[in-house]
Amino acid sequence: MRYWAAIATLVVTAYAAGPDPKFDVASIKPTAPGGVQQYCGPPMGAQPGPLQYVLVDCTVRDLVSRSWSLRKFEFVVPADPAWISTAHYDINAKSAASVNPMLHDKMLQPLLESRFRLKWHREKRELPVYFLTAAKGGVKLSPTRAGTCIPWDRKAPPPGPAPGKPPTCDYILFPGTPDRLGLGMEGIGVPMSSLAAHLTDLLGRPVIDNTGFTGIFDIHLKFARDSSLAFDGLPEQPGQTAETAGWPSIFTAIRSLGLSIAAGKGPVDVFVIDSVQRPSEN
């Protein structure tokens, strides 16, 4: 899901030290009409492997977002040519040597640049953001006690919970509630930068940390699931979302930590497509 983007990016970056691997051969074909999948991803039921990478029913927009790990607000898609958001392709790529499957999405980058003639650049734009600040009365965070979590060195995927062992530091989970209307946020040893990154994923808008808080803390929150979907109609001003079935909005839950989220505008690093062509025939 979208809120794992920050963790996935960190893991891929850690694995990508050294020369970037590339696919040796790749087949790109238009998706056959009448398909049943109707979303970009591996074929239903397929398991990732170290040599082969298969995606079906993907637009160029899907592939670029997937390969550069772009959130919706980070990606500027031109209106012309329209086919980059409507034409669907299947990709079957292979590498000669085993590659960690977590790198396969990133390995699409040279494929898109060579076969689709993709040209792009990054730039700063003033866009809607949220500012995370300390509320009146100061933050009410529970400092993490020494020894209550295991540090993660970022050189491998974060270890999940293990019986009899402390949890991993800065490993945030999002358990649902039995009524499926609420969502939790649970983590030990969490820095403010990590909370801001996860709130960015939950709210669909950059969250800029202006708290000045430099410690690590434990986080235990529950909030209405639908209040996190800013990209699906959350009001511009936080705190206006209806609270559902007794669960507070995410903005109300954050205020319980002595924090405040305010809407505004700020500089955002975006990915811009300059030009792209239909892929060469196989």
3-state secondary structure of 85: helix
20-62 residue pLDDT tens: 788 999 999 999 887 777 889 999 888 778 889 999 999 999 9
Residue 219 pLDDT more than 90?
yes
pLDDT value, residue 209: 96
- Dist CA 53 CA 92 (whole Å): 6
The arrangement of strands across the sheet holding 182-191 comes to 142-143, 216-224, 182-191
pLDDT value, residue 78: 87
Residue 75 pLDDT more than 80?
yes
Q: How far is CA 106 from CA 8, 62, 203, 217, in A?
A: 11, 13, 25, 32
183-192 residue pLDDT tens: 899 999 999 9
157-185 residue pLDDT tens: 677 777 888 889 999 999 988 888 888 99
Question: Residue 48's CB: how many other CB atoms inside 10 A?
Answer: 12
pTM for this structure? Answer: 0.76
Q: Do 65 and 118 form a contact (C-beta atoms < 8 A)?
A: no
pLDDT value, residue 15: 40
83-125 residue pLDDT tens: 999 999 999 999 988 888 888 999 999 999 999 999 999 999 9
- pLDDT, the chain, mean: 84
How large is the average pLDDT for residues 259-269?
95
